[in-house]
Amino acid sequence: MSELFQISKSYLSEIENNKKQPSLESLEKYLEIYGMKLSSLILLSENYDDANKNNKGDKFIRNMMIKLIMPL
């Protein structure tokens, strides 16, 4: 994964463990790779934060993963 984003494995690990925030360049690369719009990423983040505040963050992630893998 770090190769896709052109960052070191240690930096990716720090991002994944909430020790560092991704750079704007890393976010732009993510959006490009996954064909997403910045507004979609922001909305997803806000929805997760809201769910997490209500101790439902894990359930939110599970539901999002199911939507990604299940055909419409």
Say which DSSP state 17 is in: T
pTM for the model stands at 0.58
Instruction: Please compute the mean of the pLDDT values over residues 37-52 and round it to a whole number.
Output: 86
Q: Which DSSP category does 23 fall into?
A: P
pLDDT surpasses 90 at 14: yes
Beta carbons of 47 and 60 less than 8 angstroms apart: yes
Indicate if the pLDDT at residue 17 is higher than 80: yes
**Do the beta carbons of residue 49 and residue 43 sit within 8 Å?**
no
Range of the domain at 56: 2-69
Q: Number of structural domains, the chain? A: 1
Q: What is the pLDDT of residues 18-29, one digit of tens each?
A: 899 888 888 888
The confidence band for 72, taking pLDDT boundaries of 50, 70 and 90, is: low
